[in-house]
């Protein structure tokens, strides 16, 4: 796959945190490698893939050597690499637990793609392994590192919209390939909910800083469509937040690509469309005085993630989206699947602390006036 143009980072490599990228698929090739090239605090020191030739090819393209390319069977050899301080796990969901726990045993800090695992038990095992090994764990929720989403969060929490009333988000796309790993329950843990619907769920929690008290969900799994033999095609969910705040989420693998977010208060509203792609986010804030669209400098979402985690590794601070944040989404998603299966409202543990699962706030690009 072609790589994006190289840009000389502002900081010398020997002062940055070295990462091993575990899994070389589309996301790694088209987003993570270019993002690491422009990172101020991180760089790619090694690559791990199921295909040795693929790993060596990408290593050479990065200016690395064949010795920096590893197969999954060679993963534990990273223990000897002092320049590899962290791993970024970009494998199918069912492999997150194995490689996160192995990395922790090697003494490597772990940045893991969402969802953290395939269910809450799986995700909690990763948190426990990293805590026991004394390494940092960050769940890669890129939307919690963008200035647009933070501006939306500020509007929700600083009173700009008045008392919060309703939230709604849709995230959908068409998954054409019946053999895709994302359509295999054992590999993915579910269908669109843990893949794209999780962005809606996680962002609503991020905006409010609060946790839902109960959930109710329905799902559709058509019998005649070979894509959905194992996982749902679509899910719709209602979530009850503290103070009577109501949120709805819709997600699908069988609907035209859509990613929107809307929040309504008594005195104003906000709208993000698109709300979840890698770039091109658009935020509108509306009130009695009209509508405005704040602007922000250019940035790369994955670069912001790399830099935040690298800074936490240097300082020892807890990342803004630690493993516990990933576990909480699994707790809620497990409840959503239970509700869809039983047709009943499912109540969740009560968390009264705002941002109960989050750590140190990230540095963000400054808003332009």
Among 96, 108, 109, 113, CA closest to 136: 109
Out of 70, 88, 199, 337, which one is annotated catalytic?
199
199 is catalytic: yes
Q: Rounded CA gap, 19 and 69, in Å? A: 12
Q: How many CB atoms lie within 10 A of CB 126?
A: 27
Collapse the DSSP code of 150 into the 3-class scheme (helix H, G, I; strand E, B; otherwise coil) and give the result.
helix
| Contact (CB, 8 A) for 161 and 270 | yes
* Token duo for residue 37: 């090239």
Q: What is the largest CA-CA distance in the chain?
A: 62
User: Is the four-CA dihedral 48, 54, 56, 57 of positive or negative sign?
Assistant: negative
DSSP for 52-115, please give it.
HHHHHHHHHHTT--GGGEEEGGGGGGGGG-TT--EEEE-S-GGGHHHHHHHHHHTT-EEEEESS
Out of 70, 114, 253, 337, which one is annotated catalytic?
114
Among 258, 263, 253, 262, CA closest to 274: 258
Catalogue the active-site residues.
Answer: 114, 199
């Amino acid at each position: 796959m072609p790589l994006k143009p190289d840009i000389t980072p502002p900081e010398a490599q020997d002062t940055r945190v070295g990462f091993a990228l575990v899994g070389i698929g589309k996301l790694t090739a088209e987003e993570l490698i270019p993002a690491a090239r422009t990172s101020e605090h991180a760089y790619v020191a090694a690559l791990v893939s199921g295909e040795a030739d693929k790993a060596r090819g990408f290593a050479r393209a990065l200016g690395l050597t064949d010795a920096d390319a590893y197969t999954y069977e060679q993963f534990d050899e990273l223990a000897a690499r002092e320049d590899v301080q962290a791993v970024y796990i970009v494998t199918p969901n069912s492999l997150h637990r194995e490689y996160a726990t192995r990395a922790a045993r090697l003494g490597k800090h772990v940045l893991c793609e969402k969802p953290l695992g395939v269910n809450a038990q799986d995700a909690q095992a990763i948190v426990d392994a990293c805590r026991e090994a004394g390494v940092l764990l960050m769940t890669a929720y890129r939307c919690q590192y963008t200035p647009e989403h933070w501006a939306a969060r500020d509007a929700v929490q600083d009173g700009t919209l008045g008392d919060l009333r309703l939230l709604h988000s849709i995230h959908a796309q068409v998954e054409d390939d019946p053999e895709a790993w994302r359509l295999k329950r054992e590999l993915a843990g579910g269908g669109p909910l843990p893949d794209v619907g999780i962005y809606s769920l996680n962002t609503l929690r991020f905006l409010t800083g609060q946790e839902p008290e109960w959930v109710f969900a329905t799902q559709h799994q058509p019998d005649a469509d070979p894509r959905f033999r194992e996982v749902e095609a679509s899910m719709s969910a209602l979530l009850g937040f503290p103070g009577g705040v109501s949120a709805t989420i819709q997600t699908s693998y069988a609907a035209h690509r859509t990613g929107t977010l809307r929040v309504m208060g008594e005195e104003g509203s906000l709208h993000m469309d698109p709300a979840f792609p890698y770039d091109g986010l658009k935020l509108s804030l509306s009130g009695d005085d009209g509508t405005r669209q704040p602007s922000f400098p250019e940035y790369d979402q994955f670069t912001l993630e790399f830099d935040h985690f690298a800074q936490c590794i240097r300082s020892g601070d807890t990342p803004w989206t630690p493993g516990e944040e990933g576990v909480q989404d699994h707790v809620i998603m497990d409840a959503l699947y239970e509700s869809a299966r039983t047709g009943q409202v499912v109540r969740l543990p009560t968390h009264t602390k705002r941002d109960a699962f989050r750590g140190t706030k990230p540095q963000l690009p400054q808003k332009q006036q």
